[in-house]
Amino acid sequence: MSSDRQPLLDARDITVRFGGLVAVDSVSARFMPGELVGIIGPNGAGKTTFFNAISGVTKPTSGTLTVQGRELGGKGPHRFAANGLARTFQTPRTFPDMRVRDNIAFGLKFAGRRPRKYIWWGEETTVPWVLRTPESILGLIGLRDQADLPAAAITPSQQRLLEIGMALATRPRMLLLDEVAAGLTENEVEEMARLIRRLRDELDLTVVWIEHAVTTLLRHVERVIVLHQGKKIADGTPAEVVRNAEVIEAYLGDEMNEPTTEHVAEETTA
C-alpha cells in the first residue's frame, strides 16, 4: 500500500468527554482505501464511542476528522453518510414491520442516490451493478429467500445481515461494523467474517470492524487497532498485536492467550 495515497478517513487526536469521564483520549487513526481493519479492546475501552465519533453520531470534544479530504468534525451522521460512510450498530436498527426487501429499498431511495448517465434516466454511472436493486443486495448478503418476510420475522443473525444490506444500500466507500458477530453461533461468526472479507474484496470497500470475538477478528483482518481505557495502545498486523506486551496485559491474558498468538502468527506467516 503506497504511502502517498490519501486516507479515506483521517482521525487525528480524537477526544470524547462525557462530563468528567474521558471516554476516548486523543486517539489518531488513518484508514486507507481498501483496508480491512479491526478494532479491539476490553470492555469500557472506548471502542463504540470512537466509532460514534468517526461516524458523526457523537460530536468529538476535540480533534479533527477528515473524510475524503473534507473536514467533517462536528457534522451530523447524514454528512458522513453523504461522504461515503455507512455503519451498523450493536443492536441492529431495522424497520421490523416492513418487509425485508422494503428495508433495503428504503436505503436505496433516501440515501443511495448517485448521478445518472442522463438527467432523468439511465444507469447510475458510479454504482456497482450488485448495489443497484434490493434484489441484488439481498442476493449479495444471502437474504433473497427472506425478501417478502417482515423484518421482525427473521432470525437474529439474519437481522444483522439485513442491517449490513441497509448500510450497503447507501453505496458507501467505507463500512463501519459494530460487533456484528454478537450473539451469533461459532459457525455464524465464521460465515459473517467471510462475508465481510468478500464485501471488501468485491466492492472495493474500506471496512472497519469492532468485535468482541477477538480470535475470529484476528484471523480475518489485515490490521488491528487496540484501545484500552480510551487510549490507542497498539496499531499493527494481527501477528504484531498479539505479541504486544501492553496488549497482553490489557487483556490480562484472557483472550490474548498462547494458542491465539500461535495460530494468528502461523496464519500470517504461512
Q: Is 137 exposed, middle or buried (0-12, 13-18, 19+ CB in 10 A)?
A: buried
Average pLDDT taken over every residue of the chain: 86
- Rounded to a whole number, what is the distance in angstroms from the first to the last CA of the chain? 20
Query: What domains can be seen in the chain, in order of their start residue?
Result: 1-84+172-270 (3.40.50.300), 93-171 (no CATH)
Quick check: 268 pLDDT over 70?
no
Q: Which residues of 248-268 are buried (b: 16+ CB within 10 A; e: fewer)?
A: bebbeeebbeeebbebbbeee
pLDDT at 259: 46
| Residue 7 DSSP one-character state | P
Highest mean pLDDT of the ranges 74-88, 140-154, 200-214:
140-154
Question: What are φ and ψ of residue 62, in 5° steps?
Answer: -155, 165
- 121-133 mean pLDDT: 67
Residue 69 — very low, low, confident or very high, per pLDDT cuts 50/70/90?
confident
The tens digit of pLDDT for each residue in 246-265 reads: 999 888 655 555 445 455 54
- The whole-model pTM stands at 0.86
Measured CA to CA, the distance from residue 192 to residue 184 in angstroms comes to 9
184 to 70, 92, 192, 244: CA distances (angstroms): 37, 13, 9, 28
pLDDT at 125: 55
pLDDT at 8: 94
Residue 118 — very low, low, confident or very high, per pLDDT cuts 50/70/90?
very low
Would you tell me how many other CB atoms lie within 10 Å of the CB of residue 14? 24
Measured CA to CA, the distance from residue 248 to residue 223 in angstroms comes to 17
- 99-126 mean pLDDT: 67
Amino acid code (one letter) for 49: T
Measured CA to CA, the distance from residue 70 to residue 237 in angstroms comes to 28
* Of 197, 134, 182, residue with least CA distance to 162: 134
E-strand ranges in 19-114 read 21-31, 36-40, 62-67, 70-71, 85-87
Residue 5 — very low, low, confident or very high, per pLDDT cuts 50/70/90?
confident
- 129-139 mean pLDDT: 89
pLDDT at 126: 62
Residue 59 — very low, low, confident or very high, per pLDDT cuts 50/70/90?
very high
* Bridge pairing between strands 36-40 and 206-210: parallel
pLDDT at 264: 59
Measured CA to CA, the distance from residue 83 to residue 232 in angstroms comes to 26
Q: Which three cell numbers stand for residue 13?
A: 487526536
Q: Give yes or no for a contact between 63 and 15, defined as CB atoms under 8 angstroms apart.
A: yes
pLDDT at 263: 55
